[in-house]
Structure 1
Amino acid sequence: MKLSLAIVALALAVPTASYAQDSTAVSSNGKYPNTFSSGSANVSPFTQKSKRFNDWAISIGAGVPLVQSADLTSIKNGNGKNLFGYSAYISIDKAITHAFGINLQYDRGETRQGWFNTKDAAPADASKYQQVAGRTQYDAISILGDINFSNLLRRVDNHSPYRWALHGYAGIGTLAYKAYQKDETGQRLMTEIKPFKLGSFFGQAGAGLKFKVNRRLDIEGRLMYVMTGDDEFDGGGAQYSAVNQREEQVSDNFFNATLGLSLKLGKHESHLMWHDPLQEIYYKLDVLANKNQDIEVCKKGDADNDGVCDDWDRQLDTPAGARVDGAGVALDTDLDGVIDLYDKCVTVPGPVENNGCPTATTTGPVTDDTRTLEGIEFDLNSDRILPSNTPILNNAVSYINSSNGAYNVVGATDTRASDAYNQKLSERRANSVKSYLVKNGVESTKLNAIGKGEKDLKYPECDPATKCPEWKNRANRRVYFEAK
């Protein structure tokens, strides 16, 4: 028998919904799931072994710094000409999530600013027009936060893979530098700042565009804006010098444009920063939806054609046309031993020889010295009456009340657990059924609850040494009635 994917999904969803309360329960045994977890049955500790993605990388790059906001600038805007320095960086990158990481970065470079390149000779009239030049050699160590905007802002309906990613960076660090100034009188050191001093702290922020070359290598173009917090970084000299009074700002800032490479470390195929969780979910759903799954059930067929596969049919010779329960057993509504198919009085018990109807000669209550009612089954290690048993028990109430006889309510178990445990469990099951019957109108004097443990099996072949199918074990876990 072939079932469509939709039917299989529905079949899987029904038991899932039935046991939803158990699956979300919080365990207190000290193991996962626990009170600090979501309660999901699939929770497991996150360890190095369970990681699926690489999350470390080393990045290097080089570029050009341009002093933009200062008394001497690298950009032709009134305080200098277009002068280009050089810069380089190396960083160790750690991805925390698919959208956020932390980088430890070292920068080294030299900015050039003012009216001429300090490598050249100063103009003859440099001091007259204050056409001075400056250059600053710097080293910086900083901690940068890394936000992957491409992952963070990715549309939920975008199923396509991507090789470009926009990153945003921001962080603080310590900046050490030597700032030189040059005019027609020569070049001299104006300011020197040591690292890790109070005045050496700086901030930087910017953006980068990455391209994934392969699983190991990325190329990135990056533009950062560095805020030194220092008015002497450009080589203008002391705070109130003639050069440093040209502009009112107190922080000499510069752009740093770089091109770099990132080497992703680790044994896994993919890096965490290139992983899109939504894309993975959509991919798996698409694979599941497009996969042609031919699921074969009823490998043994349905010999009696009752709609219940022989794999779990407990009555393989059901007569044609008989209504059956979920286990393939023909229904006997009034529990008189005549299945509904042949019972002329479906709701009223009667002898077999009279097609399930009371005999015409019977004017009083029905009597039966040999009548056996059964079919009340229990879950493993439980004496709780199942909702599916209540119709059978309600019919038993009617039958026993219509009979002059008394009955033994006999409890039984399967062969699992010890004899002593099974004996007590069978007694509890018998008393549970007796209590239900009395509560629903049966005289307690008509009932005697006894337990037989595992000594009266419906399927005796299920001894402790034999592994029986579960439906046979369930049939052995029962309560039945015997006429006294």
Structure 2
Amino acid sequence: MKKVSLFVKAMGLGLLAATGASAQYNPKASYEGPAKLNTWSVSLMGGPTQFFGDLREYDFYPVGKTSSDSYNERNSGFFGVAVGKQLSHLFGLQLDAQFGNLVGMKRRQYFSYFRSNFIQTDLTGSVNLKSLLFGPNKMKRWKIDAYTGIGVVFFKSTAYEIGTGRVRRWTKTNNGDGILREAKYEKDWAIPLGAAIHYEVSPRFDVGLDFRITHVNTDRIDATVGGNSSSYFDGYGTRGAFDRAPERRGESNLDKLGYGAVMVTYKLGKNAIRVQKVNGKYEYDTTKGTYHLRWTDPKLLIKPPVILTLEQIDSVAKANRPKDIDPRLLTDSDNDGVSDYFDRQPNTPAGSIVSGAGEAIDFEKYVSAALPGVACAEIFANVTFDTDKNIIKPQFFDMLNKVVELMNKTQCRLQLSGHADRRASDRYNIALSRRRVEAVKNYLVKQGLNDPNRIVIDYFGSFKPIGDNSRNGLTKNRRVELRLVP
């Protein structure tokens, strides 16, 4: 019952889906999946037609011969063309047109037969019953549709007397002047109901069978209105303009017409492919081309996530592991501000002022020889502090004074970085390292630095140690690093 309910809802919401789904689904969309899908198709169809109305001898079996008291009801057919737009895997729209003829006869009461030419055009919505009821993975090459819609039928009919072939009635033959003229086309609304079975022959072509009954809003397709006296055989062959019986419907039911057709469908779109069976299982590969929405549920194109085992994760991690960092990049054995990897003189005495290459320089001579207005080379120095203190020791006064002199003579910039050892909380150490770096800056300003804006300060607490937790290592970590740069 649940699947039947789904089918009823899908049919009932067909026209709404035609407008709403067209915005949700289009040829450039992903259809809730990673790949585009083709959606358009063109179909050609043809086959025998059958009339259901007043001039019909039997309900289910058409008469097959013509004689003095019968007429062959089987020599009628049609051909048609349809353009389809698949809005989703389960729902599609078709605009189609059919051209054909109808034949029927009735011995009792009417003793007449008719021939009619018709043109019918419809807009129908179809539901993919196979996928709806059985799922997209069953009967992969088969598609079963049920459809309905609305259309217009144009028909031109003439009724004849059985045996003699005398004309009895026409459609639209009288303009009111009493003059009989040949039949002309009438039109009326039509509601088609049908089912189609398709088989996917190739990436481009489908073949199928289509069966349809069309309910027409008139009783005049056979040039006969049921119960109207002008339609009865009176022994003399009452003939005349059908406009003398202008009613749309008589005492009988409205007319119907049907057909059974062979259909060939060509699927439009670029790089058309269809799903292939690999090792007994259908597998989709969107890199090889574009599937058609008629046959492919977009959800099947979404690859399931791959869950790796611990061994696989470890293998991937090892394969992508970066090369080990040279430990010399992280160590500064002589505490001069230059890592051992770049240090050309890795054993400079404590408190040395060094160049960017880690070589000790005579800072006093360097300051004396500096030319006014020029940029200085990269120079490193450290100022260390006592535990939990931010007071500058006297032993660093001379060096800091030389820094002021050098900056006032040249265009040097100064970067100050404050640090602390690990014997306190992170929050406390950040504040302590900030007080230390501000103490060095304030000292430089008090000593006459003429442009404090060339000083950049940072403070890192205990997050960038250069020594261990030994007494000597803790002393190295309680520092402010000075870096003079061009």
TM-score (norm 2): 0.48
